[in-house]
A and B are shown apart, each in its own frame.
Chain A
Amino acid sequence: MLDGLRTLDCSDRLGWLAGRMLADLGAEVVKIEPPDAGVGASDWQAYNANKRLLRLDPGRPRERAALAELLAHADVLIETAAPGSPLAELFRPDALRARNPRLIQVSIRPFGADGPRANWQASDLELMAAGGIMSLAGEPDGAPMRVGAPQASLWAGAQAAVGALIALAHRGATGAGQQVAVSAQAAVLTALAHAPTFYDILGEVPTRCGEYITGRTLTGARMRAFWPCRDGHINFVLYGGVAGRRSNQQLASWMREAGAPLGAVAGIDWSTFDPKPLTQVEVDELEQPILRFFAGLTKREFLESAAAREMLGYPVSTVEDIAADPQLEVRGFWDDLRSAGEMRARHCGSFAIVNGVRAPLRHAPGEPVELEALLAEFGGAGVRAPATANAS
């Protein structure tokens, strides 16, 4: 859909996903890395698939001039240059705009472009802390937890891609590019759902509750979300209301059909079940037979039966489980690419199916492009003629 959109991705981890998303949507994305930068790590490979790689040393005047030339003909620049770095000088918005008024410059920083802490250092851990999500994950009396795979850069990259494309819509209408400024800390706030509204409306501070959910009963009783099973855990909740009714009824019939002891489950009329008045003792009593039943299931058995019964709930997957999921196979989610010097590697495919087609990834991560070739490509007639006269 973004065919011919020339995108230069000069970002570190904070911007990788932005470039990858534009590439998945059809843009021609070139990742730029210094000659000595390592590109073998799985994260680099995953988020720089579908882009070509240009090795360029911005410390050398000739290569800096070449990058400036590429920027003069680019549609989108994604950059994360730290203030004071050689690239930051090259990416001065006024200079870029003077040369290429149509350029959309996406500038991603850990804490945004300015402000009292704009120059603070942050990795994923500090950004997840600063964005609030860690305060909501972990044991109630224990330490706040982050997700074990870096997330903040992905929240930043995804928001950056949306910003770039909103700027592209504006350019389509006016011909004018502009700068889009992104804060990774603020991007993490996207992950909080409506948790901040408890503080804004009631002055309450939602916090972490481990493997349980709270706030479903008026007695303060906690209800289990994670249940041990034969090969891991299952996420299932005894919801009330319309949402829970079918799932709870189906679980009870499943247990009955399997000959499992029903205990307190037998006495519940699920069509009127309401967890709100339950005490902790009652919740525990209800959960005991379910705990025993789930303990005998595998994750795959739960996934398949729950889907067939249209029950809410999913197993807690590992990457190994995900890799074997037939749903993904049938939808052609995986894309096998051969990188230079590597065996075939299985990547996440384009993130959307458009008009029934998932666009195949066009470039293996690290597929090289030479500077001269790219200059010739960019210097040639633009695929994207301006819709209106430049507003410069």
Chain B
Amino acid sequence: MTTGAQALAGVKVVEFGAYAAGPHVGKLLANFGARVVHVESRRRPDGFRLEYPPFKDRVPGVDRGGCFAHFNDSKYGVTLDLHAGTGRELAQRLLTWADIVVENMRPGVMRRLGLDYEVARSVNPGVVMLSSCNMGQTGPRANTPGFGSQLSSLAGFCGLTGRPDGPPMLLYGPYIDFIASTMGAAAVLAALDQRRRTGSGAWIDLSQYETGLHFVAGALLDYHRNGTVAARQGNRDEEAAPHEVYRCEGGRWLALSCWSDAEFGRLARAIGRPDLAADPRFATGAQRRAHAAELDRAIVPWCAAQDAERAATILQEARVHAYPVNTMADLFRDPQLVHRHVWRRRHHRVMGERAYCFPAFDLLDTPGEITSAAPLLGADNETVFREFLGLSAAEYEACQARGAFQ
């Protein structure tokens, strides 16, 4: 019963956002058929275009960066000077056109630009607006600027990562931004459903901090119920043992865990050490956790002599939890990710064939797609303002002459 159309066909989205937390919302919607317009200006392009590598041939340029491309495939790119009258008028026309507006500016910026929810609602009563920022729109620290990589510290993630006797660990990038963007996408879709049924729009105030706390909600509840303060514990677990990573032949790492005595018995046999299962030090989960260092010493030599892929295969065949620790390179050859077509190559006019990441879900009757590479800066001005907004050629040229597209 495939309809042929994508699930969000006809849904119109405009993004006044940059970096990750706003644009990743639009990407998720665009991959399932929404028409998403990403607004930048020539004077201030999206910070991800220039501020961070990698760049094609290591040469920085607004259309050469992987960082911007990663979060903006399948969208239309426009430039507007939001500080000039004509540019702002066109931005307000985009508010009228859109079903969903996504913004991740600091609180108050959209109001100063004349693009806040009250304005949007006055021209488009059913509009759904998502405002996503570090702390939310209200509260004593509402105006705090912040990067997601550091906000991941405030929300507990970095403090829970690392060895018990060592410092906290970074989680590479703005880990928490993607929690906010994914939960934000769910919120705008719920608002869209409400609008379909009732005609009412909605303004969604999303605090990236608060969405992140939902990813440590169990530890927070444990504190509130029992006073337990969770601490970093390396890769150990309170239930499973072993529960660790081991270095394999060639330097790759293998993650493995045993969740029952029976599973530990299967591990012991699979690594040629059936004696371990009979060893009283390793008889129960509690015993194995108490003797974790000795247990590791028993497992290390087998892993060190195996290729990580082969070791994982042997252990999975023995019904033991195991998987190689994939590096960024490994992700492009992981058989399961390859099978799912997670990476989809699309042609970018400056960067050439690039891999874009498909979301982790798909709809079986109306599948999603990476419909195009990320847009060049302002590449779709004409399409968006003439076709989508209906400007005549003369009007478009007049806007251009007045510097609206700078």
Told that A181-B362, A322-B216, A348-B214 touch, could you supply 12 new A-B pairs with CB distance under 8 A? A1-B193, A22-B190, A137-B170, A148-B232, A161-B183, A162-B189, A166-B32, A169-B192, A187-B361, A193-B70, A208-B172, A353-B204
Query: Is B319 in the interface zone, CB < 8 Å from A?
Result: yes
Query: Is B77 in the interface zone, CB < 8 Å from A?
Result: no
Contact across chains for A129 and B255 when beta carbons are under 8 A apart: yes
Chain B neighbourhood of A25, CB < 8 A: 186-187, 190
Contact across chains for A200 and B213 when beta carbons are under 8 A apart: no
Q: How far is the CB of A198 from chain B (nearest CB, A)?
A: 5
Q: Contact mask B319-357 → A, CB, 8 Å, 1/0?
A: 111111111111110111101101100000001001101
Q: Contact mask A168-207 → B, CB, 8 Å, 1/0?
A: 1110111010111111111101111111111111101111
Contact across chains for A196 and B355 when beta carbons are under 8 A apart: yes
Q: Contact mask B217-250 → A, CB, 8 Å, 1/0?
A: 1111111111001111111010010011101000
Of the four ranges (under 10, 10 to 19, 20 to 34, 35 or more), the interface on chain B belongs to 35 or more
Query: Is A237 in the interface zone, CB < 8 Å from B?
Result: yes
Given A197-B69, A312-B147, A351-B210: A21 and B189 interface contact (C-beta under 8 Å): no
Q: Contact mask A215-258 → B, CB, 8 Å, 1/0?
A: 10000000001101000110111000101000000000000000
Docked Cα-Cα span, A195 to B173, in Å, equals 8
Query: Is A272 in the interface zone, CB < 8 Å from B?
Result: no
Chain A neighbourhood of B329, CB < 8 A: 199, 205
Q: Which of A83-91, A107-115, A281-289 contacts B (4 or more CB under 8 A)?
A: A107-115
Chain B neighbourhood of A348, CB < 8 A: 210, 213-214, 217, 220-221
Query: Is A373 in the interface zone, CB < 8 Å from B?
Result: no
A selection of 9 A-B contacts at a CB cut-off of 8 Å is A116-B339, A179-B363, A185-B337, A194-B66, A196-B70, A197-B69, A312-B146, A345-B224, A351-B211
Name which of B174, B182, B330 has the most chain A CB atoms within 10 A of its CB.
Answer: B182
Q: Contact mask B29-64 → A, CB, 8 Å, 1/0?
A: 100100000000000000010011111101000000
Chain B neighbourhood of A185, CB < 8 A: 336-337, 360
* Residue in B187, B190, B206, B253 whose CB lies within 8 Å of A144: B253
Contact across chains for A129 and B215 when beta carbons are under 8 A apart: no
Docked Cα-Cα span, A115 to B335, in Å, equals 8
Q: How far is the CB of B187 from chain A (nearest CB, A)?
A: 5
Query: Is B377 in the interface zone, CB < 8 Å from A?
Result: no
Q: Contact mask A307-343 → B, CB, 8 Å, 1/0?
A: 1001011111111101100111011010000000011
Contact across chains for A346 and B357 when beta carbons are under 8 A apart: no
* Residue in B53, B143, B202, B323 whose CB lies within 8 Å of A120: B323
Docked Cα-Cα span, A196 to B32, in Å, equals 22
Query: Is A369 in the interface zone, CB < 8 Å from B?
Result: no
Chain A neighbourhood of B255, CB < 8 A: 125-126, 128-130, 134, 144
Query: Is A103 in the interface zone, CB < 8 Å from B?
Result: no
Docked Cα-Cα span, A206 to B170, in Å, equals 13
Q: Contact mask A59-100 → B, CB, 8 Å, 1/0?
A: 000000000000000000000000000000000010000000
Q: Which of B80-88, B134-142, B281-289, B383-391 contacts A (4 or more CB under 8 A)?
A: B134-142
Chain A neighbourhood of B376, CB < 8 A: none
Given A1-B191, A165-B190, A327-B140: A354 and B167 interface contact (C-beta under 8 Å): no
Q: How far is the CB of A77 from chain B (nearest CB, A)?
A: 14
Contact across chains for A149 and B219 when beta carbons are under 8 A apart: yes
Contact across chains for A201 and B171 when beta carbons are under 8 A apart: no
Docked Cα-Cα span, A115 to B341, in Å, equals 11
Q: Which of A31-39, A150-158, A260-268 contacts B (4 or more CB under 8 A)?
A: A150-158
Contact across chains for A355 and B323 when beta carbons are under 8 A apart: no
Query: Is B382 in the interface zone, CB < 8 Å from A?
Result: no
Q: Contact mask B153-190 → A, CB, 8 Å, 1/0?
A: 11111111111001111111111011100111111011
Q: Which 7 A-B pairs have the closest CB atoms?
A: A193-B173, A197-B66, A163-B361, A43-B218, A165-B189, A115-B339, A129-B255
Docked Cα-Cα span, A214 to B22, in Å, equals 25
Contact across chains for B209 and A198 when beta carbons are under 8 A apart: no
Docked Cα-Cα span, A330 to B136, in Å, equals 11
Q: Contact mask B1-13 → A, CB, 8 Å, 1/0?
A: 1010001101100
Query: Is B306 in the interface zone, CB < 8 Å from A?
Result: no
Query: Is B294 in the interface zone, CB < 8 Å from A?
Result: no
Contact across chains for A112 and B51 when beta carbons are under 8 A apart: no
Contact across chains for B139 and A331 when beta carbons are under 8 A apart: yes
Q: How far is the CB of B72 from chain A (nearest CB, A)?
A: 11
* Residue in B8, B161, B217 whose CB lies within 8 Å of A137: B161
Q: How far is the CB of B259 from chain A (nearest CB, A)?
A: 7
Contact across chains for A137 and B139 when beta carbons are under 8 A apart: no
Query: Is A138 in the interface zone, CB < 8 Å from B?
Result: yes
Query: Is B74 in the interface zone, CB < 8 Å from A?
Result: no
Contact across chains for A317 and B156 when beta carbons are under 8 A apart: yes
Q: Contact mask A116-132 → B, CB, 8 Å, 1/0?
A: 11101111011111111
Q: How far is the CB of A303 from chain B (nearest CB, A)?
A: 8
Docked Cα-Cα span, A3 to B194, in Å, equals 8
* Residue in A166, A182, A210 whose CB lies within 8 Å of B360: A182
Contact across chains for A46 and B221 when beta carbons are under 8 A apart: yes
Contact across chains for A132 and B327 when beta carbons are under 8 A apart: yes
Docked Cα-Cα span, A207 to B140, in Å, equals 37
Contact across chains for B253 and A143 when beta carbons are under 8 A apart: yes
Contact across chains for A125 and B321 when beta carbons are under 8 A apart: yes
Given A145-B162, A145-B234: A310 and B143 interface contact (C-beta under 8 Å): yes
Chain A neighbourhood of B206, CB < 8 A: 351-353
* Residue in A115, A319, A346, A351 whose CB lies within 8 Å of B336: A115
Chain B neighbourhood of A112, CB < 8 A: 336, 340
Chain A neighbourhood of B91, CB < 8 A: none
Chain A neighbourhood of B354, CB < 8 A: 197, 200-201
Contact across chains for A190 and B178 when beta carbons are under 8 A apart: yes
Docked Cα-Cα span, A289 to B237, in Å, equals 38
Query: Is B274 in the interface zone, CB < 8 Å from A?
Result: no
